Every structure is written in C-alpha cells, then in structure tokens.
Homo-oligomer: A and B are copies of this chain.
Amino acid sequence: MALPKVGSIGEYIREQRQQAKISLRQLSAAAGVSNPYLSQIERGLRKPSAEILNQIAKGLRISSQALYVQAGLIEDREPPSDVVATIRADTLLTERQRQVLIDIYESFRKEHLAGDEQTSQNAHPQRDPETDDERPLPPELLAALEPYAASAGNGTVNQETKEG
C-alpha cells in the first residue's frame, strides 16, 4: 500500500551526505528543505518531488541527473551509439527533430547491418507505448517529416487531413 518504494533514493542521499560528512540539518539548510522532511526522505518515508530532488542535489553538489536516475525518474539506458547521445545532447534542436534524426539514424544502422531483416508490424496508427522497438519509422516521425516532404511532389504522403 503505497509505501514509497523509491528504494535506494533515500539511501543514496544519505550515503552521499555522510560521505560529504555533513549533518542532516546542514544538508537540509543547504538544500533549502526542512530537516524533518529530509529525514523522512532519507528513510524512504516520503517521495520527494523533482524540485526537492533538484535542491538536494544542489546541496550535495552532485549531478541532478544522477539523483534522478537513482530515483528511477530517468532511464539510464545505454545509448546505442555515440551519434544518438550526441543528438540527444544537442539543445539546438527541438525534441521532435531529435527524435526524427535518431529514428532515421537507427533505421540506417539497421538497414546497413541487417540489410534484409525487417519488421512489418507497424499496421496500427495508434502507438503502443510498450511494444515498439523495431519499427522502421514511427508514424509520428512521418508526420513530423510531412511538412518537409510536402514540397517534394512525389505524392507518397497520404494523410487523413482531419484538421488541416
């Protein structure tokens, strides 16, 4: 029953704090959170919000992302290549553009490596958040490419045009 099974986040904070050799109150002051709340967080009785986590990370002088990963709020999955990581880190693109580039890149790699193998299970227009990893290009990617492809004149892009 809703026992905050954030697990190691509290222990992780406590470890970091003890390694820094500062007291709970010191960290609470540095992080700008109350000491009782920090106490409860460290013992796993409370599940802090992202803001509190961020402040604690600041107070501990550790990376916010490391804390989010510990909290399970960021998937720390290994990027499949340096290209993907680099694209992801590029703040000059929109998120959609990033996704398009990464998807294209991965499609290219699959094509280049496998050459023949392909998956033909992308029939539904609805996305399934759980079961898509092998598709060539997702529908929303094509939707994102659509405005660019509009001037090509090849006519391959056929959309419902429900609203526009």
Query: Which A residues are closer than 8 A to B by beta carbons?
Result: 16, 19-22, 26, 30, 47, 49-51, 53-54, 58-59, 61-66, 68-69, 71, 73-76, 78, 80-83, 86-101, 104-105, 107-109, 111-116, 118, 120, 122-123, 126-130, 132, 134-140, 142-161, 163-164
Contact = CB atoms under 8 A, between A and B. Distances in A.
Counted per complex, copies of this chain come to 2
Q: Which of A91, A116, A120 has the most CB of B within 10 A?
A: A91
A152 to B, nearest CB: 4
B137 A148 contact: yes
Contacts of A113: 92
B81 A89 contact: yes
Nearest to A49: B49
B129 A59 contact: yes
B120 A157 contact: yes
Contacts of A164: 128-130
Nearest to A60: B95
